[in-house]
Amino acid sequence: MVLRNLIILPKAEQDVTQAYIWYEERELGLGEEFLRCVDACIQFIRRNPKIYQVVYQSYRRAVIRRFPYVVFYEHLDTTIIVYAVFHCSQDPKKWRSRLP
């Protein structure tokens, strides 16, 4: 099983940080659990990049388990680029503004 190279764009990192802070403020340790779930999702994507459906052009969406968040990414040969980590209640078109 080949692990693809991973690039997480700064705005996607900000998404994760903001969600972490929000969850941690609600319940101590919940933010850490969120980070573990995000990491598990991204590692799964790295091993199985084509398993998730294409939702727009060549961009895919993976659901993070236990939390109402999705990862928007693109698979380019040997590289995975993560563009956004969004709460499911956000405008689904908002993440498209981050695409190159």
**Predicted pLDDT at 94:** 83
Tell me: the pLDDT tens digits for 23-78?
999 999 999 999 999 999 999 999 999 999 999 999 999 999 999 999 999 999 99
Tell me: the pLDDT tens digits for 5-20?
999 999 999 999 999 9
Q: What is the CATH number of the domain that holds 12?
A: 3.30.2310.20
Q: What domain range includes position 94?
A: 5-98
**pTM (predicted TM-score):** 0.92
Q: How far is CA 80 from CA 24, 57, 99, in A?
A: 28, 15, 14
Tally of domains within the chain: 1
pLDDT at 92 over 80: no
Give strand pairing partners of 81: 7, 74
